[in-house]
Amino acid sequence: MPDGAARQDAILVVDDDLLMLRLVGSLLVERGLRVHTATGSSEALRIAAAIRPDLILLDLHMEPCDGFATCALLKSNPVTAAIPVIFLTADTDHAAVVHGLTLGAVDYVAKPFAPAVLLARVRSHLLLGRLTGGLRAEVAARTAELTALNGRLKRLSAAASLVEQRERRQLAQGLHDGVIQTLALARARIGAATEPRVSLAEIDATLESAIADLRSLIFDLSPPELHLLGLDAALASLVERTRRRFPVDLALRVGGALDPLPEEAAALAFLGARELVANLIRHAAARSGLILAERDRDRLRVSVIDDGRGMDESRIGRGFGLFSLRQRLESFGGSLRVAPRAPGACVVLTLPLAGQASATDQVRDGS
């Protein structure tokens, strides 16, 4: 046993024979071990609970409480249950040995013993104890990690469900307030087409408006430009549609080539940009804004900058849209942060690209 490692191990020796206690204790101390001693069961239980030794050497025949009862009491206490116990016994009866192991002891050494045998058993069980403790710690860490991930997955699932419901509500409202109303108007005009004041040009304009509303809804659900032409084209279309529908001077600047990108990264980056633009319009009271998209070999970054009322990190937890976006980005290995800026705000979403196949590669590989 290397001295450096052995000095970290503590052993409790329990025996009502003082001569045997000194003999065993001296043998272990010479090997650099920290030794504690007890002459009876109650003292052994108290010391074991107080210091939690790495190993207990326990005499089987003690009065009034023998080693069997002491071992059972040690194993019934959660504080001492995991401490390995080796019986020291002159009784080599097979039934007694089996009974001791059944109670939770890990080994036994017969008296009289050769010092080398005792030290070998001690060395083996100290090593096993360290390995077992390491495994327990690893299992506990992994369990805590899995518990945290499970909680995060539950939160993401709840967030995704809310996002889905919100998208459905927005779609239904868009269909009702836009397309259905426009088509109802077109139907009324067709019904009145015989009247001189209703022209085919008016009906055509009404239907064209309905088609435009449907295209806008389709873009909001899943922009065709994103899948056909890439992220830069989808962002350009987002800027154009936003400028057409809202009084915001929105611009796009792309730093270098964005595509090809992994399909999931491109979709999430676009959804994030759209959510940030929506936040700029609804809450920031901004007059102008800029979408800045950049990528390098390992990372995609999309920033949305505005001249509105400003925002800090604490607001992300209050608004469901940005909170959900941050959760989705983090589940992908990315991040969402608010960079200092006055006036206005600069919100930056980052996505990792390393180790992910692009959508083009996936099609080429048949995946």
Q: Which two tokens stand for residue 279?
A: 């936040």
Type of residue at 94: H
Residue 24, pLDDT score: 93
Q: Collapse the DSSP code of 223 into the 3-class scheme (helix H, G, I; strand E, B; otherwise coil) and give the result.
A: coil
Residue 165, pLDDT score: 54
Type of residue at 108: Y
Q: Are 232 and 293 in contact (CB under 8 A)?
A: yes
Burial class for 347, CB neighbours closer than 10 Å (0-12, 13-18, 19+): buried
Residue 213, pLDDT score: 67
Residue 365, pLDDT score: 44
According to DSSP, residue 356 is labeled: -
C-alpha distances (whole Å) from 367 to each of 17, 104, 267, 335, 360 are 74, 53, 18, 27, 10
The residues, ordered by sequence, that sit 6+ positions from 131 with a Cβ below 8 Å of its Cβ are none
Beta strands in the chain (DSSP E): 10-14, 34-38, 55-59, 85-89, 107-110, 249-255, 288-295, 299-306, 335-339, 345-352
Per-residue pLDDT tens digits of the chain, which is 367 residues long: 444 443 468 999 999 889 999 999 999 998 889 999 999 999 999 999 999 999 999 998 888 888 999 999 999 999 999 899 999 988 777 788 888 888 989 998 988 888 999 999 999 998 888 888 788 888 888 888 888 887 777 766 666 655 565 665 666 566 666 666 777 776 676 666 656 555 667 767 777 776 766 666 665 666 777 878 889 998 998 999 899 888 999 999 998 888 788 888 888 888 889 888 988 888 888 889 999 999 988 899 999 999 988 776 666 655 546 777 887 888 788 998 888 777 888 999 999 987 554 443 443 344 3
